[in-house]
Amino acid sequence: MHASKEQQDSLIQIKKRSDFLTIQNKGRKWVSHGLIVQVAENENGHKRIGYTVSKKVDKSAVKRNRIKRRLRAVAADVLPTGAKEGQDYILVGRPQTLIRPYETLCNDLRWCLRKLELAK
């Protein structure tokens, strides 16, 4: 199940490193087996999303890119309908992100949102 085009448009991409660092330093985070969610409130009232996978996770750029693609797909399926507005979300890839079943990754994200009290 993939989100429609208009649902994906509601997720604004975070691209600036300074935004990532602000969310990392001032926000909250929750860790699951498949991914890490970092969250901070934003002023504009929209949902913004960013993805990061470090070289510590895997040295191979091909595998890191695959992890990012999986995180994008999970975010597109879960966040538009399952997360609160006015938050910045960063999904951090882990080694397990590559091998966990897709539906389990979706459940990991939903679980993190519930623990952070950000689930709709």
Look at the domain 5-114 and name its fold: Ribosomal Protein S5; domain 2 (3.30.230)
Tell how strand 87-93 and strand 35-41 pair up: antiparallel
- Measured CA to CA, the distance from residue 68 to residue 20 in angstroms comes to 15
Cα 80 from chain centre = 12
Query: Domain locations in the chain?
Result: 5-114
In tens, the pLDDT along 44-90 reads 888 999 999 999 999 999 999 999 999 999 999 999 998 999 999 99
Q: Hunting for tokens 């996978």 — which residue is that? A: 53
Mean pLDDT of 14-40: 94
